[in-house]
Amino acid sequence: VQQGRFHYYEGYDMEQVTLPVRMYGVLGIPNLILTNAAGSLNPEMQPGSLMLIEDQLNCFFFNPLRGPNDSRFGPRFPDMTEVYDREFRDVAQEEAALMTQERSVPGFLRGGIYCGLSGPTYETPAEIRLYRMWGADAVGMSTVPEAIAARHQGMRTLGISCITNLAAGMSEGEINHSDVMETGARVADIFSELLRRVIKRI
């Protein structure tokens, strides 16, 4: 379990951002679970819900594999057809469905497309409209570089976003970082239980 990550917006380069994933691959760890906080572009995904990442958009506009390829990690041109493992996604959906029955709560996990951005600013309403046109359901400032590095190494990856806010222009108020953190804390219990259940099965 890794607590925290290196963010591109903090000034780290892509090699540093993906270093932990590279290390896991060298250690022979075959599976990776990535989590993040994200803003929703989909009205059906409200703050406090979780999004199962089905695919991603790399809007960092910079690829962590740029430069000479180290063949110890993977091929020069890795396939990105299924960055997020389908079997792992099925397991997460099954466990989430069981949790809704056991807890008598509404469904809290929905699949969607994650758009990774460099930050540190939140997006403008115009940018959000563009990302929606491109098919994104949620936006965040991480995960995409790590997922690319994991795919390069042949790791099986599961990604889950905690929806902490509605993206710019989706609500009347401004986006406040403290509100984002508060929502994340409120969802921590159900999120951590889902992860524990999934880990037991993969």
pLDDT digits 0-9 by tens, 31-44:
999 999 999 999 99
Contact (Cβ atoms closer than 8 angstroms) between residue 60 and residue 140: no
Would you list the DSSP string of 72-104? TT--SS---TTSB-HHHHHHHHHHHHHHHHHHT
Domains of the chain: 8-201 (3.40.50.1580)
Residue 26 has φ and ψ, to the nearest 5°, of: -65, -35
Residue 183 pLDDT greater than 90, yes or no: no
Query: pLDDT digits over 92-103, tens only?
Result: 999 999 999 998
Rounded CA gap, 144 and 146, in Å? 5
Residue 100 has φ and ψ, to the nearest 5°, of: -65, -35
Which pTM value belongs to this model? 0.95
